[in-house]
């Protein structure tokens, strides 16, 4: 049996987990800072790192306690070392180094996106997974189509050229005066609206990069739809329109539903095409946006291949997914020393 203690602090969740053999979650403790950052309409990096410092000791202690594991029982300590916010990553990496050194355990630095992908190996679908698989990592900072031919082997087939899908949800949410994060708020508002009320343009990629994404055009189209005409002439008696202000003549539910439909349509089309063209046996969704129900449903509807996604708690940031990825890295012999550093822009490939 291999027991790994994993730490995750790349953004605004301080998390620790104990994972057994890469598949069984013994504990998964997450201290979210979301209520604090909501007042800023996004993650405030300096505040995030300070809050990680305050929380990490208790979070790790709790993960060990819930798992009923003593430090001596552990085989390794793993930690996210990138990509993410430098100040946030530093807290987890330094804490993990201290634990590994103090307990005399191997240390492993793990890529956060690899963690998102491995969240699927913590589900009941794990025994069904056969390589190659097409992974869509769709989160606050990334929208990547990744072909996996074996464990820990990644080929990027497509990625966003501008905003990540989650970032687009968050920005449009702000524009519509919805609370942060925009993704869940837009999904909720969209339930009351019509997805065909607005036709938001979907970007078309060049033949050389058929699986790349672009979301800035949709975001601009939403902005145009909700902002007053530049002449200053008021139509339909509307008042000033700004983020956080009521939009009197705009049906927020309709805008939310139309925006969500446009983003989901683009994600589904490219993912299904990439999976078909690459000979993948399944589509694996991961990352915060994979919590979106329309995305899950449409992907299943449109794909001839099986589509798997993690339970909600494993979609957004957590340390269990880092422990799952670390198990395969540990098996392959990865060991890092105390020179392990944070890599805010760490690539997956």
Ligand X SMILES: Nc1ncnc2c1ncn2[C@@H]1O[C@H](COP(=O)(O)OP(=O)(O)OP(=O)(O)O)[C@@H](O)[C@H]1O
Binds ligand X by CB under 6 A, chosen from 82, 141, 265, 323? 141
Distance in Å, CB of 204 to ligand X, minimum: 23
Q: Which of 3, 5, 7, 11 binds ligand X (CB under 6 A)?
A: 11
Identify which of residues 64 and 260 has a Cβ nearer to ligand X in the complex.
260
Which tokens sit at 224?
A: 């145009």
**Structure tokens that stand for 81 in this block:** 């070392």
**Residue 166 makes contact with ligand X by CB under 6 A:** yes
Of residues 260-289, which lie at the interface with ligand X (CB under 6 A)? 287-289
d(CA 329, CA 280): 23
Q: Interface with ligand X includes 181 (CB under 6 A)? A: yes
Distance CA(273)–CA(266), nearest Å, equals 11
Q: Does 144 help bind ligand X (rule: CB under 6 A)?
A: no
Q: Given the complex with ligand X, which of 64 and 186 has the nearer CB atom?
A: 186
Report strand pairing: 307-308 vs 283-286: parallel
Rounded to whole angstroms, the Cα distance separating 264 from 129 reads: 24
Contacts (Cβ under 8 Å, ≥6 apart) of 35 = none
Contact between 260 and Mg ion per CB under 5 A: no
Told to check if 114 binds ligand X by CB under 6 A, we report no
Q: Given the rule CB under 5 A, which of 261-269, 278-286, 298-306, 316-324 is the region that contacts Mg ion?
A: 316-324
Least distance to Mg ion, CB of residue 201, Å: 28
33 sits near ligand X (criterion: CB under 6 A):
no
The Cβ of residue 57 has, within 10 Å, a number of other Cβ atoms equal to 12
Is residue 317 a contact point for ligand X (CB under 6 A)?
yes
CB under 5 to 8 A by kind: which of Mg ion, ligand X, none does 253 bind?
Answer: none
* Min separation Cβ 97 and ligand X, Å: 21
Distance CA 340, CA 79 (A): 10
Residues 6+ apart with CB under 8 A from 242: none
Query: x/- site string to ligand X, residues 285 to 314, per CB under 6 A?
Result: --xxx-xx----------------------
- Quote the least distance from Cβ 245 to ligand X, whole Å: 21
CB burial class (10 A; 0-12, 13-18, 19+) of residue 299? buried
Q: Is 28 in the site for Mg ion (CB under 5 A)?
A: no
- DSSP codes, 123-164: STTGGG--SSEEEEEESSS-EEEEEEEETTEEEEEEEBSSS-
Q: Does 317 bind Mg ion (CB under 5 A)?
A: yes
319 is a site residue for ligand X (CB under 6 A): no
Least Cα distance to 67 among 3, 2, 1 occurs for 3
Catalog residues that contact ligand X under the rule CB under 6 A. Answer: 10-11, 84, 112, 116, 139-142, 166, 169-170, 181-184, 187, 287-289, 291-292, 316-317
């Amino acid at each position: 049996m291999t027991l790994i203690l994993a730490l995750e602090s790349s953004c605004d969740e301080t998390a620790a987990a104990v994972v057994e053999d890469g598949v069984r979650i013994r504990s998964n403790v997450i201290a979210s800072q979301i209520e604090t950052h909501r007042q800023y309409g996004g993650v405030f990096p300096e505040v995030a790192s300070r809050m990680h410092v305050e929380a990490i000791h208790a979070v790790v202690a709790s993960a060990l306690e819930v798992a009923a594991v003593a430090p001596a029982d552990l085989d390794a300590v793993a930690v996210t070392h990138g990509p993410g916010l430098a100040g946030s990553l530093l807290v987890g990496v330094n804490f993990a180094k201290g634990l590994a050194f103090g307990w005399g355990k191997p240390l492993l630095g793990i890529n956060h996106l690899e963690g998102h992908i491995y969240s699927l190996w913590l589900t009941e679908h794990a025994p069904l997974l056969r390589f190659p698989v097409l992974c869509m990592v769709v989160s606050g900072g990334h929208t990547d189509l990744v072909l996996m031919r074996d464990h820990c082997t990644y080929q990027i087939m497509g990625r966003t050229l501008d905003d990540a899908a989650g970032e687009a949800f968050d920005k449009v949410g702000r524009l519509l005066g919805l609370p942060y994060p925009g993704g869940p708020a837009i999904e909720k508002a969209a339930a009351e609206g019509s997805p065909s009320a607005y036709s938001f343009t979907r970007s078309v990629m060049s033949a050389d990069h058929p699986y790349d994404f672009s979301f800035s055009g949709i975001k601009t189209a939403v902005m145009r739809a909700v902002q007053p005409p530049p002449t200053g002439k008021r139509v339909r008696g509307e008042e000033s329109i700004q983020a956080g202000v009521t939009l009197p003549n705009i049906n927020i539910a309709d805008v939310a539903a139309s925006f969500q439909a446009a983003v989901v349509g683009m994600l589904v089309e490219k993912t299904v095409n990439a999976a078909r063209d690459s000979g993948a046996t399944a589509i694996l969704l991961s990352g915060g946006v994979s919590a979106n129900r329309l995305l899950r449903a449409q992907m299943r509807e449109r794909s001839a291949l099986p589509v798997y996604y993690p339970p909600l708690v494993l979609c957004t940031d957590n340390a269990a997914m880092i422990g799952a990825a670390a198990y395969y890295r540990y098996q392959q012999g990865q060991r890092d020393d105390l020179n392990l550093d944070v890599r805010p822009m760490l690539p997956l490939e």
